[in-house]
Amino acid sequence: MQFLKNLFTPILAVLGFINKYFKSMIFLLIVFLIFSGDKSAQSPNANLATINLTGAIMDDSQILEKIKEIENNGAIKGVLLIIDSPGGALSPSVEISQAIKSLNTKKPVVAYAKGTMASGSYLSGVWASKIYANPGSFIGSIGVIMQGLDVSNLTEKIGISEQVVKAGEFKEAGTMMRPWSEAERESLQSLVNQSYELFAREVASARKLKFDEREIWANARVFLSAQAKKLGLIDEVGSLQSAKTACEKLSGVSNPIWLEPSPYEKMLNKLATQGSAMVYNLAGARLMAF
């Protein structure tokens, strides 16, 4: 029984959080929708913008929409990408990375690691013109992992068995209902290896690092900012203000005016961050750049 308690306690905690706070969050969102008016920020003369990437990366839709909006805004001449994320799913991390790469060809992007810029979030910002980091930030964790539960012992004890009808040898690969076969494990390992090579090559290309030396900077280690700079993973160690100043200089604007997010956007960002974290905690087997 203690095993069952340990297994389900985190899930029950997340469900309890949803039950306790979900209604209040929805109510606050409705209030903001009614009273905030135009969801765009009240900075008509703005020529610089900020994009925030926070929390676990599970859904890229909101940030991709923000990137595209800024990319199409001719008045915006430079972008500050503020990152504080442990990473997340591989696919949305790649999507964000490619969107930032495209944006950076049209207007300079400076990435700032506010707390954590690791794994998927490092990949997301790797194509920025410059990467700055708080001295206490965690940088790197360039690696890929696939993990899942094996609850076969539990189901055997409580008398639950599974019935499966499938077509294709590997259709059940990654199941939690039994130990993975050796063939399944080899197939999944191959998938992880290919994903890791994609990740490492992207970093090597963006940061002009030697791919053959990836065991030094892409072995999934996490570095403090000073060490990350020595390895070439970031450009400068500094404050948020220093990153903003760098963005202003790269953009070439004579009178920097920053686009401020509206209350509507702030609320959506908060809900998105909390929601992605809950989804991550409840997820089963998953391929993570994390």
Active site residues: 119, 171
For residue 38, give the nearest of 261, 257, 258 by alpha carbon. Answer: 261
* Contact present, 256 and 47 (Cβ < 8 Å): yes
* Contact present, 57 and 276 (Cβ < 8 Å): yes
* Contact present, 177 and 188 (Cβ < 8 Å): no
Give the phi and the psi of residue 139 in degrees, each rounded to 5. -125, 145
Q: How far apart are CA 143 and CA 146, in angstroms?
A: 11
Q: Which two tokens stand for residue 37?
A: 């008016």
Bridge-based pairing of strands 109-118 and 130-133 is parallel
The single residue listed with the structure tokens 């993973």 is 233
